[in-house]
Chains A and B, each alone.
Chain A
Amino acid sequence: MAEFEPVLLANIDRPESHTLAAYEATGGYSAVRRVLADMSPTQVVELVQESNLRGRGGAGFPTGLKWSFLPQDHPGPIYMCVNADESEPATFNNRILMEQDPHQLIEGAILACYATRATTAYIYLRYEYPHALARLQQAIDECYEKGYLGKNILGSEFSLDIYMHRGAAAYICGEETGLIESLEGKRAWPRIKPPFPAVKGLFQKPTVVNNVETLCCVKHIVDRGADWFKSIGVPADPENPRDAGSYGPKLYCVSGHVNKPGCYEAPLGLTVRELIENQGGGVWKGRKCKAAVPGGISMGVLSADELDCPLDFSGPGKYGCLGLGTAAVTVVDDTVSMVDFLHNTTRFMAHESCGQCTPCREGTSWALSMLNRIKAGKGRLQDLELILEIGDSIGIIPGTTICGLSDGAAWPMKNAIRKFRDEFEEYIRKTNPDGCNETEPVQALQIIGVH
Chain B
Amino acid sequence: MATTEEITTDSEAGDKVLTPEMVAEIQALFPRYPTLQAVTLPALHIVNQHLRHVPFQAVVEIAELLELAPAQVQDTLSFYAFFKQDKPHGETRAWVCRSISCALRGGEEVLAHLCEKAGIQPGETTADGKLTIEFGECLGACEFAPCMLAGDEVHKDLDNKKVEAFLRDCQSS
Contacts and interface: CB of A to CB of B under 8 A. Distances in A.
Touch A–B, Cβ below 8 Å: yes
Interface of A: 77, 86-92, 94-95, 126-131, 134, 161, 163, 165-171, 182-188, 203, 253-257, 261-263, 293, 297, 328, 330-332, 336, 340-341, 344-345, 348, 351-352, 354
Contact of B142 (A168, A186, A255): A255
Interface stretch (B9-17, B32-40, B116-124, B159-167): B32-40
Contact of A166 (B45, B76, B81): B45
Contacts of B142: 89-92, 253, 255-256, 261, 328, 330
A127 B82 contact: yes
Given A87-B137, A256-B105, A293-B100, A188 B37 contact: no
A128 B149 contact: yes
Contacts of B112: none
A184 B152 contact: no
A170 B37 contact: no
A293 B145 CA distance: 16
Contacts of B103: 340, 344
A128 B140 CA distance: 8
Nearest to B48: A168
Given A170-B80, A330-B104, A90 B41 contact: no
Contacts of B100: 89-90, 256, 293, 297, 330, 341, 344-345, 348
Contacts of B76: 185-187
B85 interface: no
Interface in B39-76: 39-42, 44-45, 66, 72, 75-76
Nearest to A132: B140
16 contacts: A92-B143, A95-B140, A126-B140, A166-B45, A171-B137, A184-B37, A185-B38, A187-B76, A188-B79, A203-B35, A255-B101, A256-B105, A257-B105, A293-B100, A330-B101, A348-B137
A86 B83 CA distance: 20
B41 A261 contact: no
A297 B98 CA distance: 14
Contact size range, B: 35 or more
Contacts of A134: 152
B139 to A, nearest CB: 5
Contacts of A165: 41-42
B136 A128 contact: yes
Given A92-B143, A348-B137, 13 more contacts: A91-B138, A94-B140, A127-B82, A167-B41, A168-B44, A169-B80, A169-B81, A255-B101, A256-B105, A261-B145, A344-B98, A344-B100, A345-B100
B145 A255 contact: yes
Central interface residue in B33, B45, B75, B152, by most chain A CB within 10 Å: B33
Interface in B19-43: 32-35, 37-42
Nearest to B66: A185
Interface of B: 32-35, 37-42, 44-45, 66, 72, 75-76, 79-83, 95, 98-101, 103-105, 136-145, 149, 151-152, 154
Contact of B40 (A127, A185, A262, A330): A185
A109 B140 CA distance: 22
B138 A87 contact: yes
Given A89-B100, A89-B138, A128-B95, A187 B79 contact: yes
A341 B104 CA distance: 9
Nearest to A86: B140
6 tightest CB-CB pairs across the interface, nearest first? A185-B40, A255-B142, A185-B37, A187-B79, A168-B80, A255-B101
A76 to B, nearest CB: 11
Contacts of A166: 41-42, 45
Given A261-B143, A297-B100, A169 B38 contact: no
Contacts of A254: 143
Most chain A beta-carbon contacts within 10 A, residue among B40, B80, B103, B138:
B138
A425 B99 CA distance: 24
A259 B81 CA distance: 35
A86 B142 CA distance: 12
Contacts of B42: 165-166
A187 B75 contact: yes
A126 B83 CA distance: 15
Nearest to A129: B140
Nearest to A340: B103
A89 B137 contact: yes
A307 B38 CA distance: 45
Contacts of A351: 137
A90 B137 contact: no
A185 B145 contact: no
B152 A130 contact: yes
A356 to B, nearest CB: 11
Contacts of A90: 99-101, 138, 142
B143 A168 contact: no
Given A184-B35, A255-B143, A257-B104, A169 B41 contact: no
